[in-house]
Structure 1
C-alpha cells in the first residue's frame, strides 16, 4: 500500500474550514435549495437531508447554523420578507414629500412585495400548514411585525407632528397593510393585471385612510 496516498477523510480535514466567501456561498446555496423544496414539496415533506443533497453540501453544514427544520424555515421566510421592509423604509425616509404620494408609493410597494410569486407562495404555504404546524403561523406573524416596523414609526411620527391622527400606529399599520395586500383576495385569485390597476387600487386606499386619519380640530372649551 502506498503510504503517500491520502484517504478521502484526510483530504477533507486538510482543506480546513471554508473561507468567509465560501461559507457565504454555501449558505446561499442551501437556503435557495430550502426555499425551492418548501415551495415544491410543502413543509412536512421537506427534509434537511434532502435540502443538503440538492444544494451539494453536507447536512452538518446546515445543522451547524440551524437546529431543526422549523428554524431553517423561519430563516427562509425572514429572507423573503426582508426586501419588503427595506423597500418600505426607502419609501418612508423621503422627507418633505407629499403625504398622499408617500402613502400611494407605500401601498403599491406593500402590494408588490406581498404578491411577488415566491413570497405569495410562501404565504400560501404557511396558511395551508397553520393547523398542523401552528409555530409556523406564529413565526410569520412575528415577521409581519418586523416588516411593518418602519410604517409604525412613520405613522407614530405623523401623529406626534399632528399631520395625521393615528393614536394607535401599530394597529393602523396592520390595517393599512391588510388593505394594501387585499386580504385573502390574492391568495385565491390572480393579482392585479398591471401598473394602472395597481395605481387605482392604491389611490382608493390612500384616499380612504387619509380621510380617516385626518388631523382632528382642537376641542374648543366655552
Structure 2
C-alpha cells in the first residue's frame, strides 16, 4: 500500500513538473516577449519594404521571424494594424534622432541652424525610414488616416527646432514670430521636398554640409531681425539680468 502511495506521489510530482514546463513554454518572460516583438516587427518592416503591402502576409512574417503566427495575432488583429505600427515606429525613430539633438548655446545662429538642418536631413533620409515613407505615400489611398496621423506626428519630430526658434525670437536674434510654422518650412527645405523620394540621397558629409549651408543662408535673410527691434530686445534682456 505504501509503495502505491510512493508511485502516486511520484506521478503527481512528474505531472506538476510537466505542467510548469508547459506554462514556461506557453508564457514567455517579459524580456522574451519583448525580444519576440522586436523580431517580428523587424521582419514585418523588411517584408513590407521588399514586397509591398499587398504581397506581405502575417504568415510569411512569422516564418521569417521564427515565431508562431498566433504570437503576432495576439498583439495585432490583422495586417493593417501591423503595418500601422511599423510605420509609427519609423516616425518614432526619427523623433528620437531629433530629440537627441543638442543645441550648443554658445554657437551663433547660422552654425546652430546648420546643425539642425543636417540632423533633420539625416532623420528624414535614413534608408529604411525613407523607403517606408515612400510606401506610406503609395498606400495613402488605402490608409488616409495613417498618412494624416504621420504628418501630425511631425510636430513631435520638430520639437527641438521649434524650441530653438522660439527662444531665438524672444532673444531678438531671429525674427520668427511663428516658430512652429517656420520649423515646418525649414524641415521641408531640409528634407528636399520630393527630391529624395525620387532620387538618391546626398553622397556624404561634405554634400550634406553644402546642402545645409545653402538652406540656412537662404532662410537667415528672411529671419534676420530688425536692427532697432533687436537692440531693444537685447537691452531689455540686459536690464533683466542686472
- CA spacing shift, 1:190–1:14, aligned 2, 3 Å: closer
What residue in structure 1 maps to residue 158 of structure 2?
A: 148
Structure 2 residue runs without a partner (length 5+) = 1-10, 231-242
Counting only pairs closer than 5 Å after superposition, residues 133-144 of structure 1 correspond to structure 2 as 133-144=143-154
- 1:122, CA displacement in angstroms? 0.5
> Is 1:30–1:51's contact at 8 Å kept on the other side of the alignment?
yes
Contact kept in structure 2, 1:33 and 1:55, CA below 8 Å: yes
Any idea what SS the aligned residue of 1:218 has?
helix
Please list the CA deviations of residues 13-68 of structure 1 after superposition, one character each: whole Å capped at 9, or x if unmatched. Answer: 35352112211211110110110111012123323333223212233322333344
Structure that is richer in helix per residue: 2
CA RMSD of aligned residues (A): 2.6
Question: Structure 2 vs 1, CA of residues 148 and 187 (structure 1 numbering), >3 Å: closer, same or farther?
Answer: same
Which of 33, 36, 55 does residue 43 from structure 2 map onto? 33
Which one of the candidate residues 170, 175, 191 is aligned to 2:185? 175
Deviations 1:64-91 (A, max 9, x none): 3334433322332232233332332333
Quick one: which of 109, 114, 119 aligns to 2:124? 114
Max radius of gyration: which structure? 2
Q: TM-score, normalised by structure 2?
A: 0.78
> 1:16, 1:190 → 2: CA distance?
46
> TM-score scaled to structure 1, two decimals?
0.85
Q: Does 1:164 align with 2:164?
A: no
Q: Distance in 2 between matches of 1:131 and 1:9?
A: 49
